[in-house]
Structure 1
Amino acid sequence: MKVAIVHEWLTVVAGSESCFKEFANIYPEADIFVLVSDEKSLEKLGIQKERVTNSFIQKLPKAKTKWKNYLALFPFAVEQFDLSGYDLIISSSHAVAKGVITNANQVHICYIYSPIRYAWDLYHQYLNESGLQTGLKGLVAKRILHYIRRWDRQTANNVDEFIPISNYVEKRVWRTYRRKSYKVIYPPVQVGEFTLCENKEDFYLTASRLVPYKKIDLIVEAFSTMPDKRLIVIGDGPEMKKIQAKSGENITLLGYQPFEVLKDHMQRARAFIFAAEEDFGIIPIEAQACGTPVIAYGKGGSLETVRGKFINESLENGLTGLYFKEQTVSSLKESIDHFEKYEDIFKPSEIRQFSLKFDRNIFVEEVSKTFKEIFEKHRL
Structure 2
Amino acid sequence: MDSVLGGSRHNSQIAAGMRIAIVHDWCPDFRGGERVLAELCKLFKTAEVFTLFDFLPDEIKQQHFAGVTFHTSIANRIPKVRKFYRALFPICPLLIEQFDVTQYDAVISSSAAYARGVLTRPDQPHLCYVHSPIRYAWDEQFSYLQQGNLGFGPKGLLFRYLMHRLRLWDTRTAHGPDLMLANSSYVRARIRRVYGLDARVVFPPVDVDEAALCTDKDDYYVTAAFLAPYKRTDLVIDAFNAMPTRKLLVVGDGQQAAKLKDRAGPNISFAGYLPRAEYIEAVSRARALVFAGCEDFGIALAEAQAYGTPLIAFARGGAMDIVRPLGRTGEPTGVLFEHQSVQSVIDAVKRFDVNAEQIQPLACRKNAMRFNPERFAREIYSAFAATMSMHEPSGIDAHVNQIAAE
TM-score (norm 2): 0.85
Partner of 1:191: 208
User: Partners of 2:28 and 2:215 in 1: how far apart?
Assistant: 38
Deviations 1:180-219 (A, max 9, x none): 11x1111111211121122223222222232322222221
User: Partners of 1:84 and 1:239 in 2: how far apart?
Assistant: 40
Q: Does 1:279 align with 2:279?
A: no
In structure 2, the residue corresponding to 1:53 is in which secondary structure?
Answer: strand
User: Partners of 1:46 and 1:197 in 2: how far apart?
Assistant: 26
Offset of 1:112 from its aligned partner?
0.5
In structure 2, the residue corresponding to 1:327 is in which secondary structure?
Answer: coil
Q: Does 1:357 align with 2:370?
A: yes
User: Partners of 2:307 and 2:165 in 1: how far apart?
Assistant: 45
Offset of 1:94 from its aligned partner?
0.9
Q: Does 1:88 align with 2:106?
A: yes
Amino acid at match of 1:287: A
- My pick for the range that moved more, 334-343 or 107-116, is 334-343
User: Partners of 2:217 and 2:78 in 1: how far apart?
Assistant: 51
| Paired residues of 1:87 and 1:105 also in contact (CA < 8 A) | no
Deviations 1:83-139 (A, max 9, x none): 222221111111111111222211111101111111111223333444544444444
User: Partners of 2:242 and 2:137 in 1: how far apart?
Assistant: 37
TM-score (norm 1): 0.91
Partner of 1:168: 186
Amino acid at match of 2:33: S
| Paired residues of 1:317 and 1:346 also in contact (CA < 8 A) | no
Amino acid at match of 1:163: L
User: Partners of 1:132 and 1:336 in 2: how far apart?
Assistant: 32
Partner of 1:249: 266
Partner of 1:337: 350
Aligned partner (choices 229, 238, 247) of residue 246 of structure 2: 229
Partner of 1:376: 389
In structure 1, the residue corresponding to 2:53 is in which secondary structure?
Answer: strand
Partner of 1:19: 36
**Structure 1 residues 87, 288: CA separation in 2 closer, same or farther (over 3 Å shift)?**
same
Partner of 2:396: none
**Structure 1 residues 272, 52: CA separation in 2 closer, same or farther (over 3 Å shift)?**
closer
- My pick for the range that moved more, 3-12 or 64-73, is 64-73
Amino acid at match of 2:121: N
RMSD: 2.3
Which structure is richer in relative contact order (CA contacts within 8 A, separation 6 or more)?
Answer: 2
Q: Does 1:104 align with 2:117?
A: no
| Paired residues of 2:41 and 2:68 also in contact (CA < 8 A) | no
- My pick for the range that moved more, 294-303 or 65-74, is 65-74
Runs (4+) of structure 1 exceeding 4 A deviation are none
**Structure 1 residues 245, 315: CA separation in 2 closer, same or farther (over 3 Å shift)?**
same
Amino acid at match of 1:10: C
Deviations 1:36-85 (A, max 9, x none): 32463672564468723222323445434422232222222222222222
Aligned partner (choices 76, 83, 97) of residue 79 of structure 1: 97
**Structure 1 residues 218, 111: CA separation in 2 closer, same or farther (over 3 Å shift)?**
same
User: Partners of 1:7 and 1:238 in 2: how far apart?
Assistant: 22
Offset of 1:225 from its aligned partner?
2.0
Partner of 1:140: 158
Offset of 1:359 from its aligned partner?
1.7
Offset of 1:17 from its aligned partner?
0.9
Offset of 1:25 from its aligned partner?
1.9
**Structure 1 residues 39, 223: CA separation in 2 closer, same or farther (over 3 Å shift)?**
closer
Offset of 1:379 from its aligned partner?
4.5
Q: Does 1:120 align with 2:134?
A: no
In structure 1, the residue corresponding to 2:81 is in which secondary structure?
Answer: coil
**Structure 1 residues 227, 125: CA separation in 2 closer, same or farther (over 3 Å shift)?**
closer
Offset of 1:281 from its aligned partner?
0.7
| Paired residues of 1:188 and 1:360 also in contact (CA < 8 A) | yes
- My pick for the range that moved more, 265-274 or 90-99, is 265-274
Q: Does 1:209 align with 2:226?
A: yes
Matches within 5 A, 1:52-63: 52-63=70-81
- My pick for the range that moved more, 336-345 or 299-308, is 336-345
| Paired residues of 2:22 and 2:109 also in contact (CA < 8 A) | yes
Offset of 1:31 from its aligned partner?
2.6
Offset of 1:233 from its aligned partner?
2.2
| Paired residues of 1:217 and 1:242 also in contact (CA < 8 A) | no
Offset of 1:279 from its aligned partner?
0.6
Offset of 1:316 from its aligned partner?
4.0
